[in-house]
Every structure is written in structure tokens, then in C-alpha cells.
Amino acid sequence: MNEIGLIGLAVMGQNLALNIARKGYSVSVFNRTPEKAQEFMQNKVKDEQIKPYYDIKSFVESLKRPRKIILMVKAGKPVDDVIQELLPYLDKGDLIIDGGNSYFKDTSRRIKELEEKGILYLGMGVSGGEAGALHGPSLMPGGTQDAYEMVKDVLLKIAAQTEAGPCCTYVGNDSAGHFVKMVHNGIEYAIMQAIAEVYDVLRKVLKLSPEEIGEIFEKWNNGELNSFLMEISYKIMKYKDKETGKYLVDLILDEAEQKGTGKWTSQTSLDLGIPTPSLNLAVEARSLSFFKEERVQLAKRVTKIYPEIDIDKEKIIKDLENALLFSVFASFSQGLWVISEASKVFEYNIDLSEVLRIWKGGCIIRAKILDFLRDIIKENKENVNLLNSEKALSFLMDKIDSIKYITNLAKDFYLPTLVLNSSLDYFLSMIEENLPANLIQAQRDFFGAHTYRRIDKEGIFHTEWEAE
């Protein structure tokens, strides 16, 4: 009898199965298309205790009770389909762990539906891609504490290990794990886009080659910007296409795809009423990129008059580094604010400091700056908006001239910098005592009698604007 079952042998499932087996657990695997399971067994599995099954019944029967089954299938309907297939063979007390990028509301529904049948369920965010799954991902499990206790040991062993402990913790109740993973992806979108915008300034304003940009990114990666995304970006810059000998990045079509987690983060933030402009604009930037044909046509129809200015290369590079740090901080800050609000609204009971700790290794947004963010949160556990900290304010104020300069420079060169702009505007909004929302309120009252409040007296007011 095997200790763990895993369904879904695409890239993530294969690597996670190998990781679990290499930590000394016996694993039963199943995949809808049997050829893929065969291929996996032939090409990837060596001495690991992994056994394939070709029908669900014998797969389930091969597992020790209470059974622990990890799903690594495509998010959405496939997860429901697999659960339905499993149900006839499961017993009360068995546990299903959904390790895919499921929408958190689906996870809440599944937890409830399965609880009624006596089946335990964990919604677990898994970050780190293929390599993370194999060598140690960041794991974000949520659900009941009882369910977590059943697989705690194995999860702690297979997760990435850092000096701050294994990158896995019990994230919180209900769909907390998938919620945190969703926001993790929203932050990931924003940081990727901010790096891309900085790259655009380096290549179009400073006219640097990918190799030169790679050198700059590599240097940044040795400093405050040290992170997985910076590291892969410098490696991408230096990579030459085997076929043509050209820099591969120059040959890649500029249409950024998305699977939906970034969009869900924005939709959810809007529902919760928490501002996440950097995360939202990163989604918009991907949407804009998809209108390639229109962009090509429109670019031909306008004349761009470029400024004749002296380029201070060293200054621009330093300001770009600061602007990127500013934007990365703003993106994390917005994402953490959403998580803390959701924790209250959905009663997840999430410990933000723990979330930051488990993002330190294995995952796509692992970064040196996480230690700084943890310091800020430690100062005040209730500090849901990181900007409230003195440390955060001085960090951002130190860099504000750089991001102002870079966003203006980009505009002079007709370059969009949606995430850099929105990070700056987010901060400017948050440090502005009087926003022009007074006029918005007046307009709403003018056309819709929506009423307004006043700064000089208490009460709710309406004005007959034209009659007066």
C-alpha cells in the first residue's frame, strides 16, 4: 500500500511525484491519458517508489487509509470531474489536496460539498514551476487544521528549505491557501511587468543590447533587487538562439498570455474595495500587448518626435533600479493589503508574516525584499497597509525622485510604463491629504442626487445644483 496518491501527470504533477518519492514516501500515480503515465514511468522514474495505476478504482485501493490524494490537474471543471470520479471509492476521513491554481471560491465550495460527505479537503497553492515542484516548491495549504495535520510532515519535507524554515505553513481556514496563491500570482504579474518596463527604457532610451541589459540585471540581482525574477531576467537577456545566433528575447513575439490568476486578483481586490493599481495595470498591460496588429498599424500613423536630450547613462541606470524597487515594494504592499482584508472578510485567520516567510524559497516571487517586508509587519502585526510604517515611507521617499524621473523620461520617449506609473500614483494617492474626490462627489450629487458629506459640518447633504 502506498502513502500518497497523485493525479495529473503534466509537468507539475510529474515533478511533485518525484519530489515526494525522493523524500522517502511511496506514491501511486494516475493520469487521465494513460500513455502519459507510461511515458513518465519509462523516462523519468528510476529508483523512486512510484507506481502507476490505469483505473481510478485500483489507484484508490492502492493507498493506505486514511487516503491522501493530491490533484495536479488543470484548474476549473477538471478538478470537479476528478473529484466525482474519486468519490465512489473514497471513505470518510480520506483527504483530497488540490495543488492546482484553482479559483478560491471553487475551493470554498468543494470544501463544503466534501465536508458533507465526510471527506477532508485542502486547497493548496504550489509555486515554483517545474523546478520548484521537483526540488522544493513554496506550498500554501488552506482548509481545516485537521486536514493539514494529516499531511503536514510530507509537505514540510517536500517544500523548499530556507534559513527561515520550510516554505510551507498552514495558511488558514477554508480557501485561504488558494487565495494567497492567487494574490501571489497577482504580485508576480506586477513585478514581471515592472521589470519589462525597465527593460524597455534600457533598450529604447539607452539603446543597450540584451547582453548589456543582462549585465545590469545581473548586477542588480546581487543587490537589493535580488530575486528569482531578476535572476531569470538576466539569464534570458544573455541567452542566444541556437538556430540564428541572435538574442532569443529579440525574436519572441510581444504578446503576453495569461491563465487568469492575475485577473482574479484584480477582480477580487475590486470586490473587496482594496486598491491594487499596480497589480491591475499588469493585467491590462498583458491585454494591451495582445493587440499587436492594431499597434503595428497605429504606430505607422503617428509621428513621434523624440527629445534631443543629453543622456546620463549612469544616472538613468541608478534611477531605473530605484524605480523598480519602488514598484516591487508597492506591488507587495498592495497584495498584502488584499490578503489581510480577505483574511478578515472570509475569516481565514492568515498570519501575513508567515505568508512572507513561505515565499522566501521555492516560489516565483522569492526576493530579498521579503525580509524587509517581514520586518515592517513584525513592528506591528495589525499593520495591514505597509505604508503606515516609517521604514516603508522612508524607503519609498528615498526613491520617489527616481521613479518620477523615469516615468517622465519614458513618456518623453512615448514608452508606456503602466506598472511603474500606477505604483507611483498609488503612493501619491496614499500620501495626499486632499484628493479631488470632492468634485466626484459633487458630480454624483448633481446628476444622481447621490448626496455628499461636508468637511465643515456633520450630516448627509444634497444640493439642487441648477436650481440654485
Ligand X SMILES: NC(=O)c1ccc[n+]([C@@H]2O[C@H](COP(=O)([O-])OP(=O)(O)OC[C@H]3O[C@@H](n4cnc5c(N)ncnc54)[C@H](OP(=O)(O)O)[C@@H]3O)[C@@H](O)[C@H]2O)c1
Could you give the residue numbers annotated as active site? 181, 188
Tell me if 360 is assigned to a ligand binding site.
no
Binders in 55-74 for ligand X, by CB under 6 A: 72-74
Cis, bond preceding 416 (omega within 30 deg of 0): no
Tell me if 9 is assigned to a ligand binding site.
yes
- Residue 237 CB, nearest approach to ligand X (Å): 21
- Residue 181 CB, nearest approach to ligand X (Å): 8
- Residue 139 CB, nearest approach to ligand X (Å): 11
Tell me if 8 is assigned to a ligand binding site.
yes
Tell me if 244 is assigned to a ligand binding site.
no
- Residue 97 CB, nearest approach to ligand X (Å): 12
Tell me if 185 is assigned to a ligand binding site.
yes
- Residue 33 CB, nearest approach to ligand X (Å): 3
Are 376 and 389 in contact by the 8 Å Cβ rule? The answer is yes
Tell me how far the alpha carbon of residue 338 is from its chain's centroid: 12
Binders in 90-109 for ligand X, by CB under 6 A: 100-101
End-to-end CA distance of the chain: 83
Are 54 and 37 in contact by the 8 Å Cβ rule? The answer is yes
Looking at the Cβ atoms of 286 and 374, the one nearer to ligand X is 286
- Residue 69 CB, nearest approach to ligand X (Å): 13
Looking at the Cβ atoms of 131 and 437, the one nearer to ligand X is 131
How many whole angstroms separate alpha carbon 121 and alpha carbon 174?
9
User: Of 41, 49, 78, 288, which one interacts with ligand X (CB under 6 A)?
Assistant: 78
Q: What 8-state DSSP symbol labels residue 64?
A: P
Segment interacting with ligand X (CB under 6 A) among 30-38, 306-314, 395-403, 442-450: 30-38
Segment interacting with ligand X (CB under 6 A) among 121-129, 154-162, 276-284, 335-343: 121-129
- Please tell me whether residue 370 binds ligand X under the rule CB under 6 A: no
How many whole angstroms separate alpha carbon 361 and alpha carbon 168?
10
Tell me how far the alpha carbon of residue 370 is from its chain's centroid: 14
How many whole angstroms separate alpha carbon 97 and alpha carbon 86?
12
Residues touching ligand X, count (CB under 6 A): 22
- Please tell me whether residue 124 binds ligand X under the rule CB under 6 A: no
Are 364 and 316 in contact by the 8 Å Cβ rule? The answer is no
- Please tell me whether residue 260 binds ligand X under the rule CB under 6 A: no
How many whole angstroms separate alpha carbon 333 and alpha carbon 180?
14
Are 430 and 221 in contact by the 8 Å Cβ rule? The answer is no
| Closest alpha carbon to 70 in 30, 110, 127 | 30
Tell me if 438 is assigned to a ligand binding site.
no
Three-state DSSP at 285 gives helix
- The string of DSSP codes covering 200-255 is HHHHHTS---HHHHHHHHHHHHTTTT-BHHHHHHHHHHH-B-TTT-SBGGGGS-S-
Are 15 and 43 in contact by the 8 Å Cβ rule? The answer is no
Tell me if 99 is assigned to a ligand binding site.
no
Q: Which residue is nearest to ligand X (CB)?
A: 100
- Residue 289 CB, nearest approach to ligand X (Å): 20
Tell me if 127 is assigned to a ligand binding site.
yes
| Closest alpha carbon to 17 in 44, 54, 57, 55 | 44
How many whole angstroms separate alpha carbon 84 and alpha carbon 70?
15
- Please tell me whether residue 27 binds ligand X under the rule CB under 6 A: no
User: Of 39, 87, 129, 162, which one interacts with ligand X (CB under 6 A)?
Assistant: 129
The edge-to-edge listing of strands for the beta sheet with 68-71 is 50-52, 27-30, 4-7, 68-71, 95-98, 120-127, 138-143
- Residue 314 CB, nearest approach to ligand X (Å): 37
Segment interacting with ligand X (CB under 6 A) among 11-19, 61-69, 213-221, 287-295: 11-19
- Please tell me whether residue 141 binds ligand X under the rule CB under 6 A: no
User: Of 1, 24, 33, 255, which one interacts with ligand X (CB under 6 A)?
Assistant: 33
- Please tell me whether residue 81 binds ligand X under the rule CB under 6 A: yes
Segment interacting with ligand X (CB under 6 A) among 21-29, 125-133, 299-307, 346-354: 125-133
Binders in 389-418 for ligand X, by CB under 6 A: none
User: Of 9, 69, 285, 424, which one interacts with ligand X (CB under 6 A)?
Assistant: 9
43: Cα within 13 Å, side-chain hemisphere: 9
Q: Which residues define the annotated binding site for substrate?
A: 101, 127-129, 184-185, 189, 259, 286, 444, 450
Q: Which residues define the annotated binding site?
A: 8-13, 31-33, 73-75, 101, 127-129, 184-185, 189, 259, 286, 444, 450
The contact set with ligand X (CB under 6 A) reads: 8-13, 31-33, 36, 72-75, 78, 81-82, 100-101, 126-127, 129
